[in-house]
Structure 1
Amino acid sequence: MSARSSDDDLLQPGWRSSRRKVGAVTLHVVEAGKAGAPLVILLHGFPEFWWAWRHQIGPLAAAGFHVVVPDLRGYNLSDVPDGIDDYRLDTLAADVVALADTFGAERFHLVGHDWGAVIGWWVAALHATRLDQVVLMDGPHPDVWGAQMLKHPSQALRSTYAAFFQLPWLPEATLGSFDHAGLRTMLQGSGKADTFEPGALNRYVAAWRNAGSLTGMLNYYRALRRRERPAAPARITPPTLILWAEEDRFLERHIAEASLAQCDDARLEMIADATHWLHLEQPARINARIIAWLSEAPAQKR
C-alpha cells in the first residue's frame, strides 16, 4: 500500500474521492457529477494517475455524465500487487468492469489514453455488451502493436523503451534515481514546452514515490510481453472514436490505422499540433469531441 492516504488537495469543488473494492484489489477513485447519470470511466496511462484527467472531469460532469476516474492498480493511491501476472490485460479489463459494478451500472461509456486506451481496447474486446460509446486516445489495440513494429522498423525504434522495461530492477533504478529524474525527463521530452503546467510534474513525482508504484507501473509492460499472440486480432464492436496526435513521438499513425481496421463501427481523427499528451495540450478540443461522441446515438455515428 502507498504511504500517502489522500489526494484531497487536488480535488476541485464537486469532486469526490473514495476507495472501491474491485476483486482482489482496492482502487482509489475520484468522481464527479450526479450519481445515476450516464456513467463514464476515464482510464489514465503511463506514468500518470487519475489527475491526468484534471481538464476533462469538470466539463464531462457539467455535460451530464457521472464521471469516475480510478488510479489503475499499481498507481498512486490504489493497491500495488507484487506479481507481474497481476497486471495481465484480462485482469486489468476485469478491474474496469468490476468498478462499473460497484456503481450499479450495467452499461457505461469508456475513455482511455495511452495504457488506459490499451486497457480500453481489451474491455471492448472482452466485455462489449457492457459498453455504450468508447473513446481511445494514443494507445494501440494490443493485438496489433507487435505486428506493426515488425512491419515498421521506425516504430520498433520508437518502442525500444518497452524492451528496456522488461529488464529486472534496472528500469526502476534508472527511472527512479535522483527522485525520479528519468521519468520527469521522459515526460518533458515527449511533450511541448507548455504541456505540463508549472508544478504538475511535482504532483506526478509525489505519486511515483509511493511504495512499489514504480515497479507496478512497469509491470504493465512486463505482463504484456507474456501474452500469447492470437491467431487473429480481437474484433471491436462498440462504437469507438480514436483520437490520435499527429506529433506523437511514441506511436506512429499506422498503429492507429491498424487498430481502426479491427473495429466494426469506428472513426479515426488525427489531432494536429498535438503530442502524445493531447488531452493536456488541447483540452477544449478533446473535451468537445468526447462529449459529442458520448452524447450521440450509435446510429448517428455510422
Structure 2
Amino acid sequence: MKAEIRFEFIETNRITLHVARAGNSEAPLVIFLHGFPEFWISFRKQIDAVIDAGYQVMLPDQRGYNLSDKPWRIGSYKLDKLAKDIVGLIDYSGKEKAYVVGHDWGAAVTWFIGATFPDRVHKIITLNVPHNSVMRKFIFTNPEQRKKSKYMFDFQWPIIPQMTLKKNDFENLTKVLSRTSVEGTFDKSNLELYKEAWGRRRAIPCMLNWYRATFRRKLKGVKSQITIPTLIIWGKKDEFLMKEMAEASLKYCDQGKLEYIDDATHWVQHEKPEIVSKLIVDFLSEEN
C-alpha cells in the first residue's frame, strides 16, 4: 500500500469512531465499511486503486470494533443507528454525498443507507451480503441457509459466545478465517493485527451485539427499495451465504448490477484484490 494513511477520531451520532483516511480531501468521497470480525484494514488492498482513480477514502472502525466507541446496550447496534454513524462521517467530510462500499455486516449497513438515505449517497457497492430483506427471508424460510447461519443463532446466548471466541488466544476466530478463505489469505502477521483488535476492552461482546440486535424487534417503516445505482460483488464459494441470495437482491434494486467471482469465498476483497478494485473503480466512474 503506497497511500499515506492518516487517522482521526471523529464524533458522529453521539459516539466517536476511529477512522483511517487517505487521498485529497477535496476529491469525491468513498467510505469503506468492514464486517465481522474485521476492522478498517478489511479494504486496505483497495485503497491505492481508488485513490489513483481520483477519490479520497474513509475506512472507519465501526462502532463496537477496535479503537471506536463500544456502547454496551444491544439496542445501540440496530441498523438505523449504524447507518447514522456513517451519514455523520459524510457530514464531517463537508460533502453532500459519498459513495459507500461495504462487506459482510458493512454491506448490511450499506444496503440500509442506500434505502434510507438515497439523498446522501451517489452509489452503493456491497460484497457478499445480500439485501437485508433477502437475508431475513432466507434465514427464516430456507433450510439450507438456516443451517449455514446457525452460528448467528448461537451468538444470541449471553456470555458463552464471547468466552468461546476469546478462548486460547482467539483460536476459534482465527480458525474460521483460515478455514473459510483461500489458503494464505490471512497470514500470521494479519492475524496478529486482528487479535490486537479483538483483545481490546469490550470488543468481542460488542462485536457480537451486531448479531443480537438484528434478532430483536424489527425496525418499522423502513424503506427497502434501492433507487440509486447498486453493484453487488459476490464470491461464489462463500461458505456462509448461498449465492442465490445475491440474485434475489437484484429485485430490490432499480439500477442493480451483479458480478460473481468464481474462485473467491466470503472474503472476496482479500482474495481477489485486483479484480475487486477494478470492479469498484469502474462502477464508481460509470455514468448513471
TM range, normalised to the smaller chain? Answer: over 0.9
Q: Is the 8 A contact 1:42 1:112 kept in 2?
A: yes
Q: Does 1:206 align with 2:208?
A: no
Mapped pair 1:69 → 2:68:
no
Match in the other structure for 1:82: 72
Please state if 1:15 is matched with 2:27. no
Closer, same or farther in 2 for the Cα pair 1:229/1:39, shift >3 Å?
A: closer
Equivalent residue, structure 2, for 1:127: 117
Question: Structure 1 residues 59, 197: CA separation in 2 closer, same or farther (over 3 Å shift)?
Answer: farther
CA offsets per residue over residues 192-247 of structure 1, 9 Å max, x none? 11111341111100000000010111000000001427689711111000001110
Which of 174-183 and 149-158 deviates more? Answer: 149-158
Are 1:252 and 2:225 counterparts? no
Q: Of residues 228, 240, 259 in structure 1, which corresponds to 2:230?
A: 240
- Change beyond 3 A, Cα 1:198–1:174: closer
1:273 aligns with 2:263: yes
Question: Within 2, Cα distance between the matches of 1:238 and 1:154?
Answer: 31
Q: Does the 8 A contact of 1:233 with 1:262 survive in 2?
A: no
1:139 paired to 2:141: no
2:216 is the counterpart of 1:261: no
Query: 2:47 aligns to what?
Result: 57
Distance 1:274 1:167, change over 3 A: same
How far off its partner does 1:54 sit? 1.2
8 A Cα contact 2:18 2:61, kept in partner: yes
1:8 match: none
Q: Against the structure 1 CA distance between its residues 37 and 231, is the aligned structure 2 distance closer, same or farther, given a 3 Å change threshold?
A: closer
What are the Cα deviations for residues 107-129 of structure 1, in whole angstroms up to 9, with x where unaligned? 11010000000000000111011
Offset of residue 179 of structure 1:
1.4
> Distance in 1 between the 2:222 and 2:78 partners?
19
Shift of 1:280: 0.3
Provide the residue aligned with 2:103 in structure 1: 113
Matched, 1:40 2:40: no
Contact kept in structure 1, 2:235 and 2:264, CA below 8 Å: yes
Which structure 1 residue ranges, 5 or more long, are not aligned? 1-10
Amino acid at match of 1:194: G
Q: Quick one: distance in 1 between partners of 2:125 and 2:262? A: 18
Residue type of the partner of 1:75? Y
User: Partners of 1:132 and 1:60 in 2: how far apart?
Assistant: 15
Match of 1:170 in 2: 160
**Any conservation in 2 of the 1:184–1:201 contact (CA below 8 Å)?**
yes
Question: Do the aligned partners of residues 134 and 62 (structure 1) sit closer, same or farther apart at CA in structure 2, a change above 3 Å counting?
Answer: same
Normalising by structure 2, what TM-score? 0.97
Q: Secondary structure at the match of 2:59?
A: strand
Superposition CA RMSD, Å = 1.5
| Equivalent AA in structure 2 for residue 45 of structure 1 | G
Q: Does 1:150 align with 2:174?
A: no
Unpaired segments ≥5 residues, structure 2: none
Residue type at the aligned position of 2:258:
L
Give the Å deviation of 1:158: 0.3
Q: CA–CA distance in 2 between the matches of 1:35 and 1:20?
A: 15
Tell me how far apart the structure 2 counterparts of residues 230 and 261 of structure 1 sit (CA, whole Å). 21
| Alpha-carbon distance in structure 1 between the residues aligned to 2:266 and 2:259 | 14
The one-letter amino acid of 2:234's match is W
**Distance 1:98-1:199 versus aligned 2 partners, 3 A rule:** same
Question: For 1:291 and 1:116, how far apart are their aligned partners in 2?
Answer: 19
SS in 1 for 2:145: helix
Q: CA separation in 2, counterparts of 1:28 and 1:262?
A: 32
